[in-house]
Amino acid sequence: MSDATKPADRRAATPLAALMPDAAKIHRLSAVLTLLLLVAGFSLASQAFFSVNNGLTILLQTSVIGLLGIGMTMVIITGGIDLSVGSVLALSGVGTAMAIKAGLPVAPAMALGVLIGAGCGAVNGLVVTRMKIPPFVATLGMMLMARGLALQLTGAAPISQLGEAFGRLGNGALFRMVEMQSNGFPKVIFPGIPYPAILLLLVAMGAAYMLRRRRIGRHIYATGSNEEAARLSGVRVDQTKLYAYVMSGALAGLAGNVLMSRLVTAQPSEGVMYELDAIAAAVIGGASLSGGVGTVSGTMIGAFIIGILRNGLNMAGVSAFIQQIVIGAVVIGAVWIDQMRNRR
């Protein structure tokens, strides 16, 4: 390019170029700041909030939203949405429980539960890519169908008495230290890191690696950024979307197993509206509903903001109704920030 265009190029490139990465960083920073403010605020409001035990409880509570949020992030980056995760979570948990009741050992039964989730995700993906039905409608249909199936299979009754082994995933902890006291009663020195939290960390690292370092991850971003361009560049757009929906379904299945294991009961009515928490976590974490933008680390921050908000409001004795109002406002605020960012 000759000299004549140089100034024009530079002028067009520099101000925006300086803004773009910063905008993403500012968003991340503001999310972290919000998180810290919440922790500080709730610590002042309630003595019990800022303790090791409550911290671990938050970890445990957040792990389910976190797992759903990671899958949701992948789907949102492709420019889609998955409204079915809450119902798929219930169906998978019910599937696992029924397999255990049928005599299957716990591990293969849980694998089956995850597979059921992946299967639901595959149906979502195929309906979106083959039948060309908008993701909102396709996954809304799956939300109703999976919930209906879970209720039908169980007769709307919870499946209980699943045995101690089933409860280990949700209730067990690593590095749990218990000391026998002289009076014969055990004393818990450190309650341990809950298995669900460890599982969440592993899944988050795996998903981040997949999105950043693997080809399929690059294609997920490209598909959401400009689907037609991705297709013309040789990205197999349909397969990429299918992959994202299957991952979302499988992670919903995994989250279902964690949740049901924690309750040691399979509840077919569990997980109602969880999809909204997952979407909120992704959006608070910086994922854009118009596609092409989003990170696993951001979604983790978003999940913890929601988890801490729920936990902290509970500890402060705020009623469940007020909690809904607060979280609704937070979600609108987060999407508003996203809109502001896109307008720039």
Residue by residue, what is the 3-state secondary structure of 53-90?
HHHHHHHHHHHHHHHHHHHHHHHHHCCCCCCCHHHHHH
* Closest CB 277 distance from other proteins, rounded Å: 25
d(CA 120, CA 245): 9
CA 232 from centre of chain: 31
* Closest CB 212 distance from other proteins, rounded Å: 8
Cβ closest to other proteins, residue 17 vs residue 202: 17
Cβ closest to other proteins, residue 187 vs residue 212: 212
Cβ closest to other proteins, residue 180 vs residue 213: 213
Residues in the chain: 344
Cβ closest to other proteins, residue 125 vs residue 292: 292
Cβ closest to other proteins, residue 19 vs residue 205: 19
d(CA 65, CA 57): 13
d(CA 170, CA 341): 38
* Closest CB 27 distance from other proteins, rounded Å: 14
- Closest to 85 (Cα-Cα) out of 98, 99, 96, 73: 73
The residue ranges that bind other proteins (CB under 8 A) are 1-2, 4-6, 8-10, 12-13, 16-17, 19-21, 212-215, 218-219, 221-222, 224-226, 228-236, 292-293
Cβ closest to other proteins, residue 10 vs residue 187: 10
d(CA 288, CA 302): 13
What sign for the dihedral angle of Cα 91, 149, 277, 284?
positive
* Closest CB 232 distance from other proteins, rounded Å: 4
d(CA 338, CA 343): 9
d(CA 282, CA 66): 9
Q: Tokens standing for 42?
A: 């709730």
Cβ closest to other proteins, residue 15 vs residue 328: 15
- Closest to 121 (Cα-Cα) out of 301, 216, 256, 267: 256
* Closest CB 222 distance from other proteins, rounded Å: 4
Q: Which uninterrupted H or E stretch holds 344? A: none
Q: Tokens standing for 233?
A: 């560049």
Cβ closest to other proteins, residue 235 vs residue 252: 235
Provide CB contacts within 8 A for 123, sequence distance 6+.
142
Cβ closest to other proteins, residue 168 vs residue 231: 231
For Cα atoms 259, 265, 266, give the angle at the middle one, nearest 5 degrees. Answer: 75
d(CA 161, CA 265): 7
